[in-house]
Amino acid sequence: MSTGQAIFRDVPDPPAPKRPSLGSRLVKSRTDYLYVAPAILVMLVVIAYPIYYTIELSFFNTPASLALSEKQFNGLDNYVTILTSSIFWKVTWQTIIWTVVSTLFAFLLGLGAALALHREFAGRALLRGLLLIPWVVSAVAASYVWKWLYHSDFGAIGALMVQLGVTDQPINFLDNTTTSLYSLIVVNVWKEFSFAMIMLMAGLQTVPDTLLRAAQVDGASPWQRFWHVTWPHLSSVSTVTVLLLVVQNFNSFIIPFIMTGGGPVGSTQIWITHIYELAFLRQRWGVGAAYAVLLFIIMMTLGYFYVRALTRGDDQRAGA
Amino acid sequence: MTDFDRHAGVGRPVARQVFRFTVAVGLAASLMSGTVFAQSVDLSQWSPEYVKSIAGSTTYDTAKDCGAVVPNDYAGRVSYWYTGPFEADPEISHRQDAAFWEAFKVAYPNIQTDVQSITYNELLDKFRTALLGNAAPMVVRLQILGGVEFAAKGYLNPLKPEDVGYSSADFWPGALKSVTYEGVGYGIPTNNETMALIWNAKIFADAGLDPESPPATWDDLVIYSKTIHDKLGIAGYGLVAKQNAGNTPFRFMPQLWAYGGGALDEAAPTPGYKEVWINNEGSKAALQAAVDMYVRDKSVPVSALTNTQAENQGPFIAGELAMVIAHPSEYARMNDLASKATGADKEKADAVVANMRYGLMPTGPDGKRAVVFGGSNIHMVKSDFVEGGQVDEQAVKALICMWTSPEWSVKLNWASSNPGHLGGFRTEWMKERLEQTRFLDITTSMLPNGIPFPVIPEAPEIMNIIIPDMLQNALTETMTVDQAVEDAAMKVQAIIDGSGGI
């Protein structure tokens, strides 16, 4: 044994294969780079440059009376102005409520709808089509329709409530600082739960029937079958769906902008509408850019987790 | 014998000089009476009757008049961006727009035109972007407040009526104020309009009010609104207080000014735009009146906080809203809505249109009447920012002379506004318009009461953000009236001082 060990110790390791230099790798793959060059060029122009310019602009003061070419460098002032403003923290809190509540309810409704539509029943295709309508409808059109449904004086919902004797007066959905944000969240959930439904329906296709039947034979209740068989198979697609919903909700603009314009008294203002207001309505490009950079950092962080969630399976397979 | 006779010997040359001078003055006067150099109208007499009486009293030969400024055979090129007629605009606007370009081609056959019609909402952003890339047009027509931003940033060439053969006296003083930045003119008004108070006479009658008499003062309007609401259970006045919406200041500022308030000192005879008036007693009184209607009397739509005038049109045509502030074109819009209604709705809508009345804006407690002076101006861009780096000044002047002429300032604004050039009111086309467009005389007679928004680059932020914010703070009782005006004053002052937070 010892001899053998010695023999093994004496055998020199095979030389590691020499890694080709970067230059030679570039030359070797030049055709591949040529193929992707147009796409990279377009991305540099339409994505990288605007990002660079926004970051640069965030360090400048841009008074309405000066051309952008005459912008004044002010270091981190714009970031300090934003982070020390009480309005910013109020808007941030509203953005968190908007994003978390919208995502949670859109996901739960989507999951419920996906589970219901996964079963065979008459009219399933029709119902699936109907439930997709909110997602297909233009957000602008939907916002105007909901604005009238909610209308504090002549809205259909308010009129129905009065007719049914639920309330004496039409409910003030949008013209009240307490109810406005949640009223918009309802519209947002209505608009995007179909997206969660589609994603989760696709995920449900991957749950093996054999496992579900085996669990049933073993006497598992419907809840146990869902929790121990179905849900583990949905976890990856759920992570991706939630991340996509979070990103989508952080970037929501159309519904709050059209339905309330951020009011009343800024109660429906969220980050993206506030950035738009600062930059385009108040022409404070520098502050707006700094605000956008903060949002960009959050989006990139979420993007990192999204990519990780997407590639987790690949890594596991590669590890195996 | 007169002194003249006594000095006949030496007097002859003098007499000749006097004669020549007299002839010259007479000739000039006769020329000025019918040309672009005339003092067009007597503003001191301005009233619906006066507007009617002068319409059709003068004829103009636009091509010839502009030919005196830029020869009609001039060869050159001009590029132009403006908001022309779009699908929703009436047919007459499309016809007049096409007719202008035909007429320009006839008057200046050797001037090439490169014209883009861009929607109202897109024009400013597109123009800003083009300026950054030195790809702007030579001439641009912008909404009344649009130009000051670009003048302040140094993108525009100085331009005044005299540069294209007109006199500054041919334009509304308020309109000229809107194109003047730091004492220099940067454009010429193309059209001007004001709004008026519109009411439903039947609702007034049903509420026991005189159907033919609008509220004389803003205090009366508050009472009328409450009376209508209390007796009929519908909204009296269509208050508009949406955030980030231009509709809000256009309807609230007249009230603010009438009470003696202002954002800055824009309502003063010679505003300097340095004094903050938003927290003065007049501003407080105006805001209190709005609060009284919304909070105390509940006589205005609950939806006022998210309403623009567009949302008021439905309730008005349905007979559920008694009073609104709107443009001259609102009557045509209501006719349009009525024509699309069916059954019982049609009957109701037709009755509303028949009962529609236009009146002057209410006054403040001291009899002051005010309205926002709206419209558009035409500007010449500096060569540095124009595509190709060169502005063909002669071609630019030819276009601007034609566009702002008495003839075309009427025709190009047929359905939606009024001529910027006061001479337009004297034309036969104005007479035709007055006969065609109901209530036009009322809205035109409001023009002398027009006050332009502050002519500073920060005006959009003050008017579209701070004023609606102040209203919403008070109407939602988030702040008291005093707190709301002080909060607004602090924000306006911060903007004037160059800071402003977020």
Per residue of chain B (502 residues), what is the pLDDT tens digit?
333 333 333 334 444 444 444 444 433 333 333 333 344 677 778 888 888 899 999 999 999 999 999 999 999 999 999 999 887 677 888 999 999 999 999 999 999 999 999 987 789 889 988 998 899 999 999 988 889 989 999 999 999 999 999 999 999 988 998 999 989 999 999 999 889 999 999 999 999 999 999 999 999 999 999 999 999 999 999 999 988 777 899 999 999 999 999 999 999 988 999 999 999 999 999 999 999 999 999 999 999 998 888 889 999 999 999 999 998 778 888 888 898 889 889 999 999 999 999 999 999 999 999 999 989 999 999 999 998 899 999 999 999 999 999 999 999 998 778 999 999 999 999 999 988 888 888 888 888 889 999 999 888 889 989 999 999 999 999 999 999 999 999 999 998 887 767 7
Q: Are residues B343 and B359 in the same domain?
A: yes
Q: Does B233 touch chain A (CB under 8 A)?
A: no
Give a yes or no: residue B160 inside a domain.
Answer: yes
Interface test with A, best of B121, B129, B240, B306 (most A CBs within 10 A): B306
Contact check, Cβ <8 Å, A64/B458: yes
Q: Note down the domain range covering B324.
A: 196-370+458-496
Instruction: Tell me whether B291 touches chain A (CB under 8 Å).
Output: no
Lowest mean per-residue pLDDT among A8-17, A53-62, A84-93, B210-219? A8-17
Residue B19 lies in a domain: no
Judged by a CB distance cut-off of 8 A, whether residue B469 touches chain A is: yes
Instruction: For residues B156 and B261, state if they share a domain.
Output: no
Q: Measured between CA atoms, how close is B135 to chain A, in angstroms?
A: 15
- Give dist(CA A318, CA A312) in Å, integer: 10
Question: Which CA distances in Å does B155 have to A69, A70, B10, B415?
Answer: 12, 12, 58, 31
For chain B, the domain total comes to: 2
pLDDT value of position A106: 97
- Give the helix ranges, DSSP H, for chain A: 2-10, 22-28, 30-43, 49-57, 77-83, 86-118, 124-136, 139-150, 156-163, 180-204, 209-217, 222-225, 231-250, 254-259, 271-276, 285-319
In angstroms, the separation between the Cα of residue B100 and the nearest Cα of chain A is: 33
The reply to whether B320 touches chain A by the CB within 8 Å rule is yes
- CATH number, position B486: 3.40.190.10
* CB within 8 Å: A151 and B303: yes
For residues B186 and B147, give the distance between their C-alpha atoms in angstroms, rounded to a whole number. Answer: 8
- For residue B18, the distance in angstroms to the closest alpha carbon of chain A comes to 53
Q: Which fold has domain A73-311?
A: MetI-like fold (1.10.3720)
DSSP bridge partners of B198:
B324, B358
What pLDDT does residue B424 have? 95
Nearest chain A Cα to B298, which residue? A153
Q: Is residue B101 part of a domain?
A: yes
Looking at the fold, whether B256 and B154 belong to one and the same domain comes out as: no
All structural domains of chain A with their residue ranges: 73-311
Q: Are residues B127 and B165 in the same domain?
A: yes
- By the 8 A CB rule, do A296 and A51 touch? yes
**Co-location of B206 and B188 in the same domain:** no
Contact B165, B406 (CB under 8 A): no
CA angle A274/A277/A281 to nearest 5° reads: 175
Residues B139, B152, single domain; the answer is yes
Do B152 and B255 belong to one domain? no
pLDDT at B490: 95
Helix or strand holding residue B354 (H, E): helix B343-354
User: Which residues, listed in sequence order, are joined to residue A284 by a DSSP beta bridge?
Assistant: none
What residue of B is the nearest CA neighbor of A77? Answer: B501
Same domain for B227 and B311, yes or no, is yes
Q: Is A174 on the interface with B (CB under 8 A)?
A: yes
Nearest-Cα residue of chain B relative to residue A71 = B153
* Residue B35 counted as domain residue: no
| Torsion of Cα atoms, B125 then B130 then B131 then B137, to 10° | -110
- Cβ atoms < 10 Å from Cβ of A49: 11
Please determine, for the modelled complex, whether the ipTM score is greater than 0.90.
no
